[in-house]
Structure 1
Amino acid sequence: MQVLLLKEPRDGASGPDPYIKELASHGLSATLIPVLSFKFVSLNTLSDKLFQPEKHGGLIFTSPRAVEAVKICLEAEERREEWDRSVKEKWNAKSVYVVGKATAALVRNLGLNPLGEDTGTAEILSRVIIEREDTNIPPLFFPCGSIKREVLPSALRENGMPLETLTVYQTAEHPDLDKNLKNYFTVQGIPASIAFFSPSGVKFCIEAVRRLSGEHLTQIKFAAIGPTTQDAITAEGLCVSCTAEKPTAEHLAAAIAKALQGKPTARC
């Protein structure tokens, strides 16, 4: 059976995408179509703040793209040596919070020690931060995207936690998305399952999926990487056949495999 993954390829990786690999282990054939494109912004400001750890109480990363922005700053200004020599340890003396294993892995590549990789959502991470941190610390620094949800910033500020955000990348629809979707449905036909990985992915794809699926739309098992994406799908009036218990390739593949075996817990 065919599974359509509406997501970007894993950054800088060789070999198969982990989601394609995990689905294959369940006997499922998956195709990946990139949904989003990104433009990095405010990198000079980001670089300045990265090299002033004494002005902040810690770091927060909720997406791999924000970590990539940091990497670009270090490489572009050839400041990696200074970072490795002293700056990263000053950050490690504070707390570096992350959501998800993919983001945590990239943070480790910067020489930082991530906390919270098993939280899975920004909502859960915000509770961890509130429990761990005092409100009298310098502001936590949160590099983020242009369409970030306000769950984490709102929760922290409501609990008196100082926070400084900086938009370091802008998100838009991938320029080839509509063409790639049309080509997929023309060649592969209707997939058994379609997996969404973000509310913005739902926003950019849903009308094309409706149009290309036609009367077969209700036959598709829709899958979500997490509860926020699940809510975005149900808001469009579609049933979610499965949601990953944790936002990992293993958990999503297992959930999709179970749903395709006729054991879903549909949420409409």
Structure 2
Amino acid sequence: MSSTTPDVPVLLLKTKSIPADGYQEIFAGWNNYLPTFLPVLEHRFREDALTWLKDVTSGGGFGFNETVEAPDRYGGIIFTSQRAVEAFTSIVESLDPRTRNELLPEAFPLYVVGPATARGLRSLGLKCQIIGEETGNGAALSAFMLDHYNRLPTSQTVRQDRKLPLLFLVGEVRRDIIPKSLQSPDLSQEARIGVHEVVIYETCEMASFHIDFARALEENIASEAMEQWVVVFSPQGCKAMLNCLGWLDETGRYRSEVPEASPLTTFIATIGPTTRDYLVSEFGFEPHVSAEKPSPEGIYAAIENYRNTNSETQL
């Protein structure tokens, strides 16, 4: 592509992660892509949970100082979502920088399910070990934690003859793979790891998504770009997206022959098989690509591969 070619719009149907977003970094830095974030879901932090988390953190609940009388103690924290990382970020940033390393010491493990959560935590500059990002899903992370946590010195994992549980910061809607795996009856009593789940945020559908998506489409058409990509991360918002594109018929199914309303061609990418299968089963629409790995690199590679091998493809 020449440098004079208009940037290729990439509509990312997600909330931009804070303090860093891998999708922004990879698409803004390569091949004239222009990423735009369009949140489908609205996340609200629970103030009572944030207050509790700050009290536990500042009260020494994550440290190894046995002289500190902390009512709640944990041997590590589990992160499987960006929202949980953002909640934790707000707590860390409220702490006195002079006490952070004592309250969150180097040996304290922060378990993460993938590179996005790891990247967000590393941006905080803590000395804590951030591990597990290669696992990619809850089942694999559980197996990793069972091996890693049970190998740690008891000076880190046991207080008053009690094995410290792990703190799991979650949303109100979540799967129970990790708690069940870490406390499976198939494990010996010594191998089991307690899990304390705390609902740190709630989720609801963004009321303005349909309007925001339609406005973004109009802007992309006006930009004179020849193509645009829409990256879908969950089943939520799929119907509104397809409706805005004019791709649904009166029965709510995909139109096999979509009339061309503009020179702008739209391609759809999904983060993984769950969202792809939802589009196929619910609407009869097969997305153009689905990432082999649910990550910024996976989405980027899928789109690049499609564009390189189907440069003349049109809907």
Instruction: State the TM-score bracket (shorter-chain normalisation).
Output: 0.7 to 0.9
Distance 1:12 1:141, change over 3 A: closer
Counterpart of 2:239 in structure 1 is 207
Counterpart of 1:38 in structure 2 is 43
In percent, how many aligned pairs have the same letter?
Answer: 28
Give the counterpart letter for 1:248 in structure 2: S
> What is the TM-score of this pair, normalised by structure 1?
0.78
Counterpart of 1:193 in structure 2 is 229
> What is the TM-score of this pair, normalised by structure 2?
0.68
From 110, 129, 136, the equivalent of 1:120 is 136
Q: Map 1:67-106 onto structure 2 (within 5 A).
A: 67-76=85-94, 78-84=95-101, 86-89=102-105, 92-106=106-120
Q: Does 1:150 align with 2:160?
A: no
Once residues 85 and 99 of structure 2 are traced to their aligned partners in structure 1, the CA distance between those partners, rounded to angstroms, is 18
Alpha-carbon offset, residue 93 of structure 1: 2.3
Alpha-carbon offset, residue 222 of structure 1: 3.0
Report if the CA contact (8 A) 1:221-1:259 is conserved: no
Counterpart of 1:255 in structure 2 is 302
Give the counterpart letter for 2:98 in structure 1: E
Secondary structure class of the residue paired with 1:118: coil
Once residues 239 and 126 of structure 1 are traced to their aligned partners in structure 2, the CA distance between those partners, rounded to angstroms, is 32
Bigger Rg, structure 1 or 2: 2
Counterpart of 1:52 in structure 2 is 61
Q: RMSD across aligned C-alpha pairs, in angstroms? A: 3.1
From 166, 176, 184, the equivalent of 2:208 is 176
Higher helix share: 1
Counterpart of 2:263 in structure 1 is none
Give the counterpart letter for 1:132 in structure 2: H
Once residues 169 and 305 of structure 2 are traced to their aligned partners in structure 1, the CA distance between those partners, rounded to angstroms, is 37
Q: How many positions carry a matched residue from both structures? A: 252
Could you tell me which runs of 5 or more consecutive residues in structure 1 were left unpaired when the two chains were aligned.
Answer: 264-268
Once residues 121 and 193 of structure 1 are traced to their aligned partners in structure 2, the CA distance between those partners, rounded to angstroms, is 26
Give the counterpart letter for 1:122 in structure 2: G
